[in-house]
Structure 1
Amino acid sequence: MFFHFKDQFPHLNLYWDKYLPHQKRLEMPAKTVLLEEGKISQQYIFIEKGCVRMFFNSNGDEKTVQFFFENEGLTSLESFVNGTPGAFTVETLEPSIVYLLHKKHVNRLMDEISHEPGFLKMMLRIFARRQMHYNNELISFIRDTPEQRYQNLLNNRPHIVQRIPQHYIASYLGVSTVHLSRIKNKLAKGKPHF
């Protein structure tokens, strides 16, 4: 479950290992919903294998917000922390192996580990990194054209373009699949031919 933390903070392995028996390992097919929009998030999700997307429904149209891959953890954070209905649906896009840790165990773990020196700095670094990522995405969505956003994906996160179906990428970029095809054709024509 906390494998991504184990690598970054090995001095805390005693705590991570203590909660290994409480995690639930699931092998699931693509298109399996892990959290439904409007439901309260009760699980922290860690992806061992596969890909997960987070999206919301806007008048019957799915708007993709984020993609998560191997060795990444996620939850609908506001829902998880505050016990409020979640704003997002989380579903697998590929056959996946995920680990779930219930909120009560996460809370106990956080209580125990919070006494460790450096814990607060560690959590602040993690949240700052994630917040910076979301801020950059928001700024890009406002500032950049869809073509520039697609080019950013190619340059900085090519695994998304390689693994994610085109209609989800179009949703993520805020364009239609037809518009995305035009962008791809335009970029392909602009490439030098040898």
Structure 2
Amino acid sequence: MIDELINTIKEDEKSWLRFQKVFVEREITSKKILLQEGEISKHIYLIKKGCLREWFNKDGKDITFQFFFEGQAVASIDSFMSNNTSLFTIESIEPSTLISIRKDDFDELIQTYPKLQLEFQNLIFQRLRNYGQLFLSRIKDSPEERYKDLIQNQPEIIKRVPQHYIASFLGITAISLSRIRNRK
């Protein structure tokens, strides 16, 4: 998504001169908070390298509900689009390279490039599908079934994400995850 967008803009030299400054590349360390729960999202981040997570605090407990990797975009969509406070935090899990785009610049890009608006809508629909699957999985699947599904359908999470975040994502404790893993 990142490269396609930039290449599309570069095709028109006049547009590239106008928009090249809106793509701010940032290198961040692991455990860097990009958006704190309760803040208003003013940026969307495109991941060139690294891994981010979205999480919220429930009675002092860290609950992870989504991971993002290279080529994906991340923002608190509701906050970003409607100027409401974010219900969750966005944090890096590993050192990452991001392209940051401010809200005002993103709105102008969407107006100028309708194809980008379509891609953004697809991103939102994909996010809704992910949330729906997570919701149903929490209702119908056992923790062991959720873990097996994760291994089968999202192995990158197993390879790159620390176990305590995976446990939080699965809705179990790290000890329970360890027991599930040892049964294999």
TM-score of the pair, normalised by structure 1: 0.84
Q: Which residue of 1 aligns with 2:29?
A: 29
Q: By how many angstroms is 1:81 displaced? A: 0.6
Structure 1: where are the runs of 5+ without partners?
189-194
Q: State whether residues 47 and 70 of structure 1, in contact with CA within 8 Å, keep that contact through their aligned partners in structure 2.
A: yes
Q: 1:125/1:24 Cα in 2 relative to 1: closer, same or farther (>3 Å)?
A: closer
Distance 2:11 2:66 in 1: 32
Q: By how many angstroms is 1:102 displaced? A: 0.3
Q: State whether residues 4 and 72 of structure 1, in contact with CA within 8 Å, keep that contact through their aligned partners in structure 2.
A: no
Q: Which residue of 2 aligns with 1:154?
A: 151
Match for 1:47: what amino acid?
I
Distance 1:94 1:119 in 2: 28
| Aligned counterpart for 2:170 among listed residues 168, 173, 176 | 173
> Percent identity between the aligned chains?
34
Q: By how many angstroms is 1:133 displaced? A: 2.2
Distance 1:34 1:122 in 2: 23
Provide Cα deviations, 1:138-184, integer angstroms capped at 9, x if missing partner.
11111111100000010011110111100000000000011101111
Distance 1:62 1:122 in 2: 31
Q: By how many angstroms is 1:125 displaced? A: 3.6
Q: Say which one has the larger Rg.
A: 1
| Aligned counterpart for 2:133 among listed residues 136, 155, 172 | 136
Q: State whether residues 38 and 85 of structure 2, in contact with CA within 8 Å, keep that contact through their aligned partners in structure 1.
A: yes
- 1:109-128 equivalences in 2 (<5 Å): 109-114=109-114, 122-128=119-125
Distance 1:82 1:92 in 2: 24
In structure 1, the residue corresponding to 2:167 is in which secondary structure? helix
Distance 2:141 2:127 in 1: 20
- What value does the CA root-mean-square deviation take over the aligned residues? 2.2
Q: State whether residues 110 and 117 of structure 2, in contact with CA within 8 Å, keep that contact through their aligned partners in structure 1.
A: no
Distance 1:71 1:178 in 2: 32
Is 1:81 the equivalent of 2:78?
no
Match for 1:3: what amino acid?
I
Residues matched between the structures, number: 181
Q: Which residue of 1 aligns with 2:45?
A: 45
Distance 1:39 1:159 in 2: 29
Provide Cα deviations, 1:74-132, integer angstroms capped at 9, x if missing partner.
10000001101101100111011111100000011112223xxx676555444333322
Provide Cα deviations, 1:41-62, integer angstroms capped at 9, x if missing partner.
0001011111101000111111
Q: 1:30/1:125 Cα in 2 relative to 1: closer, same or farther (>3 Å)?
A: closer
Structure 2: where are the runs of 5+ without partners?
none
TM-score of the pair, normalised by structure 2: 0.89
Q: State whether residues 37 and 88 of structure 1, in contact with CA within 8 Å, keep that contact through their aligned partners in structure 2.
A: yes
Distance 1:149 1:13 in 2: 43
